[in-house]
């Protein structure tokens, strides 16, 4: 069964709206990085970079776990972030396996740990940066939709 098939009506994924702004800014920056094939001295404002890195740092313990499947713990931001990333990567590639997702997220975590260091990128780093771009872009797209839907619900509530 494909991972994306697990997200059927009735099973919710964690909300992504809290990551939407960070994801949008990181996607813009990673687009530049992949085109230039290098990380410039100043990539994004510090707060955006910190939040983008925190998205992965919170997942770090989960990624280093030897467990094949991750239990979703609503109170754990690490497991929420893992579920968000897992869902988005599965939407990008419906044939990706659980081990493939874990490997890619591990590569992304390493890349994000080193993103403050200006340098030319090798082929593997460019590929990881492209996948990061895709991940942040889809998080922004879904998160922005959640924010819009929430605003519309609130607006309708005030009109009643």
State pLDDT tens for residues 43-101.
Answer: 888 888 888 888 888 777 777 765 555 554 444 567 778 888 888 888 887 777 888 88
- Dihedral pair phi/psi, residue 135, rounded to 5°: -60, -50
13, 138 contact by CB (below 8 A): no
96, 90 contact by CB (below 8 A): yes
Query: With 90 as the cut, is the pLDDT of residue 157 above it?
Result: no
Place of tokens 């975590």: 109
Alpha carbon distance 92, 138 (integer Å): 9
3-state secondary structure of 6: helix
Mean pLDDT of the chain: 78
Q: Bridge-partner residues for 39, per DSSP? A: 119
The number of residues making up the chain comes to 160
Alpha carbon distance 38, 145 (integer Å): 31
Q: What is the pLDDT of residues 1-56, one digit of tens each?
A: 333 344 434 445 566 777 888 899 999 999 999 999 999 988 888 888 888 888 88
- Residue that wins the pLDDT comparison between 159 and 138: 138
pTM: 0.76
- Residue that wins the pLDDT comparison between 160 and 98: 98
């Amino acid at each position: 069964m494909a991972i994306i098939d697990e997200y059927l009506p009735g099973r919710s994924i964690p909300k992504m709206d809290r990551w939407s702004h960070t994801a949008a800014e990181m996607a813009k920056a990673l687009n530049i990085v992949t085109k230039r094939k290098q990380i410039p001295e100043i990539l994004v404002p510090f707060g955006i970079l910190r939040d983008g890195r925190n998205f992965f740092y919170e997942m770090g313990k989960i990624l280093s776990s030897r467990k094949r499947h991750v239990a979703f713990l609503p109170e754990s931001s690490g497991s929420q972030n893992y579920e968000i990333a897992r869902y988005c990567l599965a939407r990008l590639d419906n044939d990706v396996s659980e081990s493939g997702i874990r490997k890619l997220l591990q590569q992304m975590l390493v890349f994000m740990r080193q993103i403050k260091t200006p340098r030319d990128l090798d082929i593997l780093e460019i590929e990881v940066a492209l996948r990061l771009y895709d991940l942040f872009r889809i998080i922004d797209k879904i998160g922005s939709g959640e924010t819009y839907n929430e605003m519309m619900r609130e607006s309708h509530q005030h009109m009643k």
